[in-house]
Amino acid sequence: MSGTDPASAPDAGVVPACVVVDVANVVGSRPDGWWRNRAGAATRLLGGLAGLRGREASVDAERVRIVRIVAVLEGAAKAATAPEGVTVVRAPHDGDSTIVSTAHGHLDSGERVVVVTADRGLRARLAGGVLVTGPGWLNDLLGR
């Protein structure tokens, strides 16, 4: 026996998570002129997201390690480009329905899911096993 307490290991209590980002909601959370170029604003946000893979953060009282990032784009922002490490889902109709189905798909496959949105209607449509946090959480992680 090594004598190491598993509870004191660095990964103790940290859950790997898939973060699903409501890009329109996060981009719209900062009045930085995003409305003049929605695809450009989305591309800038997506550029920062890849650097979050492997990062640990708290959501509610749960500690997660970001292992997958899924960004949902809608409208004019669907023309945005993403770096390697960020999965982009282009909403065929409305972004909220795409976010719900994407989050539930990852949840159904056994992943811990964190959805980033401030949209109350969207939050109400998510399954109980999905963690939800607002754009401020992601903006803080990104240093925006």
Q: Which amino acid is at 38?
A: R
Give me the DSSP letters along 80-95.
----TT-EEEE-SS-H
Q: pLDDT tens-digit profile of 29-75?
A: 988 888 889 999 999 999 999 999 999 999 999 999 999 999 999 99
Rounded CA gap, 41 and 101, in Å? 24
Query: What pTM does this model have?
Result: 0.89
Rounded CA gap, 52 and 36, in Å? 27
The token duo for 100 is 């719900």
Q: Which domains does the chain have, with CATH numbers?
A: 13-142 (3.40.50)
Q: Which amino acid is at 124?
A: A
Residue 67 CA: distances (Å) to CA of 1, 51, 74, 122: 31, 11, 23, 23
Q: pLDDT tens-digit profile of 10-21?
A: 567 899 999 999
Q: pLDDT tens-digit profile of 31-42?
A: 888 888 999 999
- Is the pLDDT score of 137 beyond 50? yes
